[in-house]
Structure 1
Amino acid sequence: MNFFERQRQVRRLSTRLVLLFVLAVVGIVVVVNLAAVFAFNVGTSNPPQLAGLVVMVTLATVAAIGLAALVRTLTLRGGGGKVARELGGVPVPADTTDPELRRLRNVVEEMALASGVPVPEVYVLPEETAINAFAAGWSPSDAAVAVTRGALQRLNRDELQGVIAHEFSHVVNGDMRLNIRLMGLLFGILFLTVVGRGLARAGALGGGRSRNSNNGGALPFMLVGLALLVAGYIGVLAGRLIQASVSRQREYLADASAVQFTRQTSGIAGALKKIGGLSDGSELRTPKRDEVGHMLFGAAGRASWLATHPPLAKRIQALEPSFDPNELRQLAQRWAAAPPSGRQEDIALGLAPSGPGGAPARRDSARPGAPALPVEGTRVRVAPAEMLGRVAAPTETAYTHAAAILDRIPEHLLDRARNRDSAAPLVLGLLLAAEPDVRQHQHEAIAREHGPALADAALREAGELAGLHPMLRLPLAELAFPALRARPDAELESLMAAVFTLIHADGAINVSEYCLSRLLLAEIQESLKPDSRWRTDRRTLTDTRSAAAYLLAILAQVGHGDRAAAERAFQAGVATLLPGTSLPYAPPENGVLALETAWPVLDGLRPGDKERLVAAVVAVISHDGMMTVPEIELLRTICGLLHCPLPPMAGDGIG
């Protein structure tokens, strides 16, 4: 199942979620209406009174559920970090030197670079001794990945890598958005239990006070309260059914994606075995565990027929067909006396220093044999169909290449990217044009609109970055993203304005610089104001024909020396995008700036149409069957803008 088919599956799951929610609400409304009719002694002898009561109770119940779901969803607008903090999560600093936390951040950073998405916020749940993890957020730009203290302590690096790879599958495939929506809907259903408990208690207290006056007026409210409690527990049952319906199959898919990513089953299978063999398992202590159960790596509570996750033994057997479930009992006996230590296992594997409390190596994951970065002028042969299969489907080669990228970024640049005070000037320095005249114009524009201090700092960073390999610029910008998000909203707004200033400085910015600027601008915007609309992919290719034509024409113009070759590349893209359709080759006069209004339109395409657009972009850029290093990075940036993350490519082929 490729990325675009997975997107269609998420759409179908969203439709199923709505239908199940509606059925749950209908069932709750019926129960509450029956209770109200009985409590207020309204019979069929008075149809108008009965109809009025039913309408009133129905409207009140639906309004209460809908309002509660809406309010809960709005409280989650803060993105994945909001969910992690609600569960007691503590952010992991980007520049941490703690060995366990540094290992976690290294794994997350490499996974993000290998997946082609921004580095998410990283959290640890320090009060949770079980092994578990989750990813949450509306999009990759506001995502957070959280792991429990038990996962940090018990899992070795390969196992932690498998768990994080599982969570990144949810990040890149759009599962997080569905998960966070489900949290809001479940809260609406469960809200009635709170109201019912209050009414029942008030009715009981009122009945006690009124016994001496023979006043039975509190009895109906107590009965309605009890009915709401019953309805609420029906909602709990419905919520568990919805969670199980939405979650179980996706866990198998995420496990399989993690294996594809890491190219080994021992990591994620080892983590699952430790969950089954340790007394804490994956069970969380937080009272919110049921609300987030569907988004966790392992089941939050005890196994049941309404479990949100497949049985542990079946998940392991899907990864290791020869696995015997009796092995879990043997592991439990062995670990009862001496629980496993992830750090000691890493030392034995040579993945961590043996000194007590010693800091790990700069990047403890770099693997021998990592591919070298291609030199300037390298051309990579590429097949468009194969390229499409790589969207949101990172492989072990991509992961190895990401580790190599991290190894090749100078230490002082990594330090500045991870520091919240220096990240903004560094990113602006990355975005400054290479041509001296354009760069000077950009510097003057930033100084005029945002102050000379920021302009001078960005110019200094640009000088330091002058020799950085083209394939390291986008990863360095993504590594700086967590530090940028740590800044106050007002400073992020100012940074967005500065990036916008660079884009519009004088119109001389080239396509690669423009796309990188626009990608960072979009990521900052999404992290500040996550798009929580239920559906964002409603447009068709017919709706977006002119915007798509602009994009293909600009790519053809910058990638080919003469107009005839550019027109042939453009028509190849059109033939892929709209077979049988003829569109004139007419690059816009204002160049890349014509795309300013095109991105929201193109990003709103339905999954199948977006797949064809990406295929058309690949067809234009690789019209001669080859791609240069700048074209590779340009393609990755465009795919990022279209929310179709493309992993990095190694120098000897596709990564």
Structure 2
Amino acid sequence: MQKLGFFERQERARRNTSLLVLLFTVAVVLITLVVDLIGYLATRDIEPVPHFGAWLISKQGIYTSIAVVAVVGFGSLFRWIDLAGGGDRVARMVGARQLDPSSQDPDERRLRNVVEEMAIASGVPVPDLYVMDNETAINAFVAGYSASEAVMVVTHGTLTQLSRDELQGVVAHEFSHILNSDMRINVRLIALLAGILMIGQIGQFLLGSAGRRSYTSSRDDKGRGAMIAIGLALILVGYIGLFFGRLIQSAISRQREMLADASSVQFTRNPEGIASALYRIGQTSGYFQTTSHASDVNHMCFSETVRMRFAGWLASHPPLEERINAIDPALLARFRNRRRDDIKPTQPSPGVSSTATGGASLQAGLSALTEPVIGARTSPLASGTRLSESAGAVTPANEAYAQRLLTQLPDNVRTLLYTRTGAIQYCYSLIFHDMSDAERTAALQHSPEQAALALDQDMMARFYPTLEALGDAIRLPALELAMPALRKLDPQERETLEAVMGRLARADGRVTLFEFALLSFIRRHLTPAGRRPDRVRYRRFADVSASLGTLLSLAARSATETAEEAEACYQEAIAGFESHSVSLGPLRQKVSSRELLEALNQLRGLSPMLKPAIIDACGHCILRDGQVVVREYEILRLVADQLDCPMPPLPVSQAG
């Protein structure tokens, strides 16, 4: 299978949206024609017409077509509005329970640990976690309109029946859907399918009404017969709609599932983990039993949630054996030769990912865990490294980094990050930590009136030892751990939090680069304006040349020590753009926070296929000396986050 980069996958997701609209339109047209045909056959004896074509353009035909399109459109619009809540609404729709971060249940703690490791390793905010307590099948899905509001839903069977390696394979598969921008189209597909299935649901309602009503006269009997006939006809149309719905699910989902399987192997470097989870589903089940929405979310899940005929044509997932063979043809035979009791490996310790793929993989895992701790100087990166190629990918080094981070983070601090109050005070502590006592006293005047958002010096002080011990490199990853709690704030509280942090950052009369990155992160992931999907407005670098010059000026000046080095770095960074007759102008001697904000907002509107060049130009400045200091990494994370590009951790030097 051809390997696609992150930005290519984003562009493909946009094309899939267009394909979805096209398939939906075709399905609506065909369903309308079928209903029209039924109307023609039912009325041709009453009002004879020469042929079906003539009936279509008659008053009856036109009214029938309008009614069908209106019903389908209303059904889709109603569900579209219903799902405006994003991933949380989908999770509630299937009856899932949100996990309590402070839960002491070992299976729930293991799931959260695996998810947090994957989130930190991939550079995306930690998704909210939900469990379908009444579903014993093994399955999972992610939902949401963007990575910043994603939720992950797993069944009780997934929690309790899978080993850690298998669970890690499933989680990595679902993270692939987050990174590949699959979630938005998945939620939209639920809404569009609801409209297609509306005709059949009306038929079921009419048939049920005919069966429940009592009839006392022959006229009533004729009316009952007509209602039954119409109901049966509409149910038939409903099955046709169901067929087209499954066909659309299959067309959109099958290739993405194979890609997600491949990405899971790439992320975990353990093909047996996900393959064993797939095999276990084949031995047990992945079908939902307790929710009426199993069919609605079928295309979103790790495996099929409903049984269906013509599965070869209409299944939204390839057959389990085909998926296992695509991972490694030898695994299926190996699983079949094992005794059933041996399929589930011994559970590893919560903080370490075991491997079952042989001594080489185990040795690689042990080597990764002995790498330097967070904040220590690590081996340098090559100056020619293309950082855009690491977007949306996870390596063993990234995974080991995340495991070390979670291991070093004190339990009491981690628990605080899971609470609303703790997450809020952590945001404040990131600004207060670098203040003097006098500045802290003055900053307390900016405390909001709401008790839940008030500045609490004592709680902020509980984070200072961790920030001092683990260094600046812990700041953004820990903020990502706090995101599920921050997402629980209501819209007004989010606005207040953003405003308070802005006042705190400007209290000393200047805004540091980290403070700017922190405010941008909060704005991007918590406010309605920031979470709104980026619309492609520019398809040429020439349209954003001024913004490019501003950003690269900042990157060049921040990555160098002297004016001469900054000028040389800037000229090297812009060379690739100017070779395409794009003039970025001279190096800016000063870039204000307002100018930087305006530049990033404009660059967000670029086509996804143009964004890698910006990441790589900034990366050239950062990696020019072969080392990455915290200040430089914060620039990269700021740019990547604003361009909707998940950026995994880099080896960071504490120097600078």
Check whether TM > 0.5.
Answer: yes
Distance 2:249 2:175 in 1: 20
SS in 1 for 2:316: coil
Q: Is the 8 A contact 2:7 2:608 kept in 1?
A: yes
Distance 1:235 1:488 in 2: 39
1:128-139 to structure 2, matched below 5 A, reads 128-139=135-146
Distance 2:376 2:352 in 1: 35
- The AA in structure 1 aligned to 2:259 is L
SS in 2 for 1:68: helix
1:226-305 to structure 2, matched below 5 A, reads 226-278=232-284, 280-302=285-307, 304-305=311-312
The residue aligned with 1:615 is 616
The residue aligned with 1:312 is 320
The residue aligned with 2:471 is 469
Q: Is the 8 A contact 1:379 1:627 kept in 2?
A: no
Q: Is the 8 A contact 1:380 1:626 kept in 2?
A: yes
Q: Is the 8 A contact 2:417 2:481 kept in 1?
A: yes
The residue aligned with 2:536 is 537
CA offsets per residue over residues 487-509 of structure 1, 9 Å max, x none? 44443332222233345546511
How big is the shift at 1:109?
0.7
The residue aligned with 2:553 is 553
The residue aligned with 2:65 is 58
1:482 to 481, 484, 495: 484
Q: Is the 8 A contact 1:37 1:50 kept in 2?
A: no
Q: Is the 8 A contact 1:244 1:308 kept in 2?
A: yes
Q: Is the 8 A contact 2:87 2:143 kept in 1?
A: yes
2:96 to 82, 89, 97: 89
Change (3 A) 1:501 1:395: same
- The AA in structure 1 aligned to 2:649 is P
Distance 2:349 2:436 in 1: 50
The residue aligned with 2:417 is 417
Distance 2:56 2:24 in 1: 29
Distance 2:121 2:349 in 1: 25
Q: Is the 8 A contact 2:83 2:89 kept in 1?
A: yes
1:15 maps to 2:18: yes
How big is the shift at 1:181?
1.2
Change (3 A) 1:576 1:231: farther
Distance 2:404 2:596 in 1: 33
Q: Is the 8 A contact 2:514 2:631 kept in 1?
A: yes
CA offsets per residue over residues 48-105 of structure 1, 9 Å max, x none? 9943333322222222222221221222222222212221211111122111111111
CA offsets per residue over residues 442-501 of structure 1, 9 Å max, x none? 825623787894164676467445514111111111111112223444433322222333
Identify the range of structure 1 (255-264 vs 588-597) with the bigger mean alpha-carbon deviation: 588-597
- The AA in structure 2 aligned to 1:311 is P
The residue aligned with 2:361 is none
Q: Is the 8 A contact 2:422 2:459 kept in 1?
A: no
The residue aligned with 1:491 is 493
SS in 2 for 1:554: helix
Distance 1:186 1:605 in 2: 31
Change (3 A) 1:254 1:436: same
The residue aligned with 2:359 is none
Q: Is the 8 A contact 2:210 2:228 kept in 1?
A: yes
Identify the range of structure 1 (484-493 vs 410-419) with the bigger mean alpha-carbon deviation: 484-493
Q: Is the 8 A contact 1:554 1:591 kept in 2?
A: no
CA offsets per residue over residues 557-580 of structure 1, 9 Å max, x none? 333333343233233332334533
Distance 1:644 1:102 in 2: 28
Distance 1:366 1:476 in 2: 24
Distance 2:367 2:165 in 1: 13
Percentage of matched positions with identical amino acids: 35
Change (3 A) 1:181 1:475: same
Distance 1:32 1:428 in 2: 61
Distance 2:519 2:367 in 1: 31
**With structure 1 as the length reference, what TM-score do the two structures score?**
0.86
CA offsets per residue over residues 159-217 of structure 1, 9 Å max, x none? 111110111111111111111111111111111212233345567889x8585348967
Q: Is the 8 A contact 2:173 2:261 kept in 1?
A: yes
1:72 maps to 2:71: no
Distance 1:134 1:120 in 2: 12
Identify the range of structure 1 (293-302 vs 444-453) with the bigger mean alpha-carbon deviation: 444-453
Distance 1:369 1:350 in 2: 9
SS in 2 for 1:627: coil
1:76-475 to structure 2, matched below 5 A, reads 76-199=83-206, 209=215, 211-213=217-219, 224-278=230-284, 280-302=285-307, 304-305=311-312, 306-324=314-332, 328=336, 335=340, 345-346=347-348, 369-373=369-373, 375=375, 380-432=380-432, 434=434, 436=436, 440=440, 443-444=443-444, 446-447=446-447, 453-454=454-455, 456=457, 460=461, 463-464=464-465, 466-467=467-468, 468-475=470-477
SS in 2 for 1:380: coil
The residue aligned with 1:6 is 9
SS in 1 for 2:295: helix
SS in 2 for 1:228: helix
CA offsets per residue over residues 304-342 of structure 1, 9 Å max, x none? 2211111111111112222446955x67xx54xx69767
SS in 2 for 1:381: coil
Q: Is the 8 A contact 2:140 2:302 kept in 1?
A: yes
The residue aligned with 1:606 is 607
How big is the shift at 1:519?
1.0
How big is the shift at 1:644?
0.7
Q: Is the 8 A contact 2:443 2:507 kept in 1?
A: no
How big is the shift at 1:282?
4.7
Distance 1:462 1:442 in 2: 20
How big is the shift at 1:219?
6.9
Distance 2:390 2:442 in 1: 36
- The AA in structure 1 aligned to 2:447 is A
Change (3 A) 1:240 1:529: farther
SS in 1 for 2:297: helix
CA RMSD of aligned residues (A): 3.5
Q: Is the 8 A contact 1:572 1:623 kept in 2?
A: no
Distance 1:503 1:646 in 2: 25
SS in 2 for 1:291: coil
Change (3 A) 1:222 1:572: farther
Distance 2:179 2:350 in 1: 33
Q: Is the 8 A contact 2:173 2:263 kept in 1?
A: yes
Q: Is the 8 A contact 1:559 1:621 kept in 2?
A: yes
Identify the range of structure 1 (109-118 vs 443-452) with the bigger mean alpha-carbon deviation: 443-452
Identify the range of structure 1 (284-293 vs 258-267) with the bigger mean alpha-carbon deviation: 284-293
Distance 1:26 1:200 in 2: 25
Distance 1:367 1:147 in 2: 31
Q: Is the 8 A contact 1:547 1:598 kept in 2?
A: yes
Change (3 A) 1:71 1:383: farther
Distance 1:517 1:286 in 2: 41
Identify the range of structure 1 (480-489 vs 389-398) with the bigger mean alpha-carbon deviation: 480-489
How big is the shift at 1:649?
2.1
**With structure 2 as the length reference, what TM-score do the two structures score?**
0.86
Distance 2:370 2:124 in 1: 21
SS in 2 for 1:122: strand
Change (3 A) 1:44 1:50: farther
The residue aligned with 1:362 is none
CA offsets per residue over residues 128-153 of structure 1, 9 Å max, x none? 11111111111111111121111111
1:515-594 to structure 2, matched below 5 A, reads 515-525=517-527, 531=532, 536-540=535-539, 541-579=541-579, 580-585=581-586, 587=588, 591-594=592-595
Change (3 A) 1:323 1:459: closer
